[in-house]
Amino acid sequence: MDQMNSKFNDIVARLDLSLTQIDNNKREIEEVKEKQEGIEFDIGSIKEKLHAQEKENEKLRERMTDLSARGMRNTLVFQGFPEGAENKNCENLIQSFAKSHLQIEAEVIIERAHRSGSTSSPRPRPIIAAFNRYSTKNMILVNARRFLKEKPFEHNGKHPIYVDEMLPKEIREQRKKLIHIKKKLKEENTRRVVYFKYPARIFYKEGKDGKEREYKMK
């Protein structure tokens, strides 16, 4: 009986120890859960802050792109003039070209004009021209779209001349992604005039009324 009582007491002692250990484990588990919940809350809070920061950064990027575009508002890029065609005077070349090939009789005042890019390029560097007024720049661009596309001009029989707006890289990339739509609209109707408007909106004119319409993305 003494031996049985001793064994029983030993079992009870071990059971008490096990229960105590279980209680300790439960407390530790609860503490871990609380810490985990706290960490998850912190992570969620950090994610929200990061998301808000990303939105703010995107707004800042858009603002910077817009400011950059405004700085280029009166500027055009002339592609195709062979090196040396300007005879060290890009302004005179652009003014002469506007009058002789774009049928612009009004005075064209250029604030600055110069070649841009590397001289090692196999193609002639573009000429960047900034005009004193937006109306002058726009008139040249409109006439270039009208006359050069119907009757391309090649300086001395070499590279064809193209005139386009000067835009920030971000907007050029946006437009590049929409080129296939622009081409499709033109292929559907060869008489249709299709063009971009700031920043990357597609417009077109067709029919007798020649009314301007914007292409809506589906």
pLDDT in tens, 12-39: 566 666 667 776 777 777 777 777 777 7
From the list 78, 57, 58, 66, the residue with the least C-alpha distance to 168 is 66
Average per-residue pLDDT in the chain? 83
What pLDDT sits at residue 155?
A: 64
pTM across the whole model: 0.65
From the first residue on, what is the mean pLDDT of each consecutive set of 10 residues in the chain (218 residues)? 60 64 74 73 76 83 83 92 91 93 92 89 90 94 82 67 90 92 90 86 84 85
What pLDDT sits at residue 2?
A: 60
What pLDDT sits at residue 5?
A: 59
What pLDDT sits at residue 135?
A: 93
- Residue 147: HSE in the Cβ half-sphere, 13 Å Cα cutoff: 18
* Element housing 56 (H / E): helix 2-71
Q: Strands 162-165 and 127-131, how do they pair?
A: unpaired
Alpha-carbon distances, residue 91 vs 108, 131, 199 (angstroms): 9, 10, 27
- How many other CB atoms are found less than 10 A from the CB of residue 140? 21
From the list 78, 75, 189, the residue with the least C-alpha distance to 125 is 78
Phi (first) and psi of residue 39, to 5 degrees? -65, -45
Q: Is the CB of residue 81 less than 8 Å from the CB of residue 96?
A: no
Q: Is the CB of residue 90 less than 8 Å from the CB of residue 81?
A: no
